Chain A
Amino acid sequence: SAVISQKPSRDICQRGTSLTIQCQVDSQVTMMFWYRQQPGQSLTLIATANQGSEATYESGFVIDKFPISRPNLTFSTLTVSNMSPEDSSIYLCSVEVGDRGRENEQFFGPGTRLTVL
């Protein structure tokens, strides 16, 4: 299993600014994922972040808007750049540990609630 923390837990930002969200895991993991969950909606995968390589973005998400860093096996950041009110959402990171014999089991952080004014 894995314990994941995110910072900040919530923030209110002005449009046009950027916010960097941190994700810390209590163990070394290969794969980390970033999701967005808009109010009342399901989760949408933004990108997959592997240590030592460029993040892989899903359709509709680009690196200029959501740059991701993965400097080591326990940490990642997601930046939401040049924010607009449409970016208001909960951003979650997750990891796949794979030590319990379960396929596709990911552990999620508590999320960062972002409001853009």
Chain B
Amino acid sequence: LAKTTQPISMDSYEGQEVNITCSHNNIATNDYITWYQQFPSQGPRFIIQGYKTKVTNEVASLFIPADRKSSTLSLPRVSLSDTAVYYCLVGALYGGATNKLIFGTGTLLAVQP
């Protein structure tokens, strides 16, 4: 499983766009990139997933360059409620069998008023 590296923490203010970059230099051809969000006292929840280029949903955007050795989670106009830990995970689904989720250190995003 590809190892991921992301900043330990980031600070932002309400209304700003936040970009969290994750490095995964050893990503394999059939690996997806998935981001999870964890609020205090809750389990993580899926935010977004991509394989290449750009993916956008109602919560965030995910930018993946052509070499796929990194990815950037973009949160538009953050609010105080976006304060959480954001995990970048890389893994694949092999032949229908479930892949384990291996969590890295995560990035603690603190949004200030």
Q: Do A and B bind each other?
A: yes
Please, which residues of chain B bring their CB within 8 A of the CB of A109? 43
CB-based contact B91/A43 at 8 Å: no
Given known pairs A103-B49, A105-B34, A111-B43, the reply for A44 and B103 (CB within 8 Å) is yes
Closest to A105 in B: B46
Tell me if B99 is interfacial: C-beta within 8 Å of chain A.
Answer: yes
Residues of chain B from 68 to 111 with CB closer than 8 A to chain A in the complex? 87, 89, 91-93, 98-106
Interface of B: prevailing SS: loop
Does A33 interact with chain B (Cβ within 8 Å)?
Answer: yes
Task: State whether A104 touches B103 (Cβ < 8 A).
Answer: no
Chain B residues within 8 Å of chain A by Cβ, number: 23
* Minimum CB–CB distance for A57 against chain B, Å: 12
Q: How far is the CB of B44 from chain A (nearest CB, A)?
A: 5
Q: Tell whether B29 is near chain A: CB-to-CB under 8 Å.
A: no
Quick check: B42 and A43 within 8 Å, CB to CB?
A: no
Let me know if A42 and B103 touch, CB within 8 A. yes
From residue A74, how far is it (CB to closest CB) to chain B in Å?
Answer: 17
Contacting pair A42 B87 (CB below 8 A):
yes
Q: Which of B19-66 contact A (CB under 8 A)?
A: 32, 34, 41-46, 49
Interface size for chain A: under 10, 10 to 19, 20 to 34, or 35 or more residues? 20 to 34
Q: Which residue of A lies closest to B87 (CB)?
A: A42
A48 neighbours in B (Cβ, 8 Å)? 98, 100
Within 8 A of B (CB), among A37-88: 42-45, 48, 58
On whether the beta carbons of B49 and A105 are closer than 8 Å, the reply is yes
Q: Do A94 and B87 contact each other (CB < 8 Å), given the known contacts A45-B101, A103-B32?
A: no
- 27 A–B contacts, CB within 8 A, in A order: A4-B43, A31-B98, A33-B100, A42-B87, A42-B104, A44-B103, A45-B100, A45-B101, A48-B98, A98-B98, A102-B46, A102-B49, A103-B93, A104-B89, A104-B99, A104-B101, A105-B46, A106-B46, A107-B45, A107-B46, A108-B43, A108-B45, A109-B43, A110-B41, A111-B41, A111-B42, A111-B43
